[in-house]
């Protein structure tokens, strides 16, 4: 029962992801998404779009990775993609959070999920590269669907987006090209993404 209690403690703790707000609006532009909605959306995207991965991937492993990749934000908070000051302390905040949150689980499961989280962060495996591609494309897609609402609010420049997406094509060249043509270019032409 101790193992089961630890598993449920983690599951209940994970519910707190629903309270972590992000800067990306839902497709209707009426409210911003939360971390749990983001993770669910990435999991669905991974299942549907895995055929476009540059390399063969273990889909279940990748889905698990995207489902837990932001769980550390329960303690660390969400660091906005273009918040340069926040990025200075992000790794330290997230490491401490990972230690506590994954530590709630039975040791074998906690270690397994912690390793998947580290793998996602390192972006060195096909699964991690594809997971990161999903993580980068999903907010882009929602920004495009909401007429660039968050990009306009934050005065985001094309150079910032391109800098953040330097490695996006490593997971899927096809999806990165699609995103450039369908999500970025129309918003650049409309002025919702600022040109440099």
The pLDDT value given to residue 81: 83
Check residues 81 and 66 and name the one with the higher pLDDT: 66
> pLDDT tens digits for 173-186?
999 999 999 999 99
What average pLDDT does range 8-16 have in this prediction?
Answer: 98
| Burial bucket for residue 191 (CB in 10 Å: 0-12, 13-18, 19+) | exposed
Residue 155 Ramachandran class (φ > 0 left, ψ -120 to 50 alpha, else beta)? left
Contact 184, 158 (CB under 8 A): yes
Helix H or strand E encompassing 32: strand 32-34
What average pLDDT does range 67-75 have in this prediction?
Answer: 98
Say whether pLDDT at 1 is over 80.
no
What average pLDDT does range 17-38 have in this prediction?
Answer: 97
The pLDDT value given to residue 34: 98
Output the CA torsion sign for 139, 159, 130, 71.
negative
Could you write out the DSSP letters of every residue in 91-123? HHHHHHHHHHHHTTS-HHHHHHHHHHHHHHHHT
Contact 71, 120 (CB under 8 A): no
The pLDDT value given to residue 80: 86
Tell me the percentage of the chain whose pLDDT exceeds 90: 93
Say whether pLDDT at 37 is over 90.
yes
What average pLDDT does range 2-6 have in this prediction?
Answer: 98
Going by pLDDT thresholds of 50, 70 and 90, the confidence category of residue 83 is: confident
Tell me the percentage of the chain whose pLDDT exceeds 70: 100
Check residues 17 and 80 and name the one with the higher pLDDT: 17
**Secondary structure of residue 150 in the 3-state scheme:** helix
The pLDDT value given to residue 126: 98
């Amino acid at each position: 029962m101790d193992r089961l209690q630890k598993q449920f403690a983690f599951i209940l703790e994970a519910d707190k992801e629903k309270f972590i707000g992000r800067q990306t609006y839902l497709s209707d532009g009426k409210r911003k998404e939360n971390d749990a909605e983001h993770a669910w959306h990435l999991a669905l995207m991974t299942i549907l779009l895995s055929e476009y991965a540059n390399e063969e991937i273990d889909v279940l492993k990748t889905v698990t990775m995207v489902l837990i990749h932001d769980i550390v934000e329960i303690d660390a908070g969400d660091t906005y993609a273009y918040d340069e000051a926040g990025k200075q302390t992000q790794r330290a905040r997230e490491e401490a959070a990972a230690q506590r949150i994954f530590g709630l689980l039975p040791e074998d499961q906690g270690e397994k999920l912690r390793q998947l989280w580290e793998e996602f962060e390192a972006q060195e495996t096909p699964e991690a590269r594809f997971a990161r591609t999903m993580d980068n494309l999903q907010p882009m897609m929602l920004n495009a669907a909401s007429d660039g609402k968050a990009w306009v609010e934050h005065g985001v420049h094309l150079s910032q987006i391109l800098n953040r997406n330097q490695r996006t094509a490593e997971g899927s060249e096809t999806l990165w090209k699609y995103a450039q043509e369908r999500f970025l270019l129309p918003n650049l032409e409309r002025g919702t993404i600022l040109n440099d």
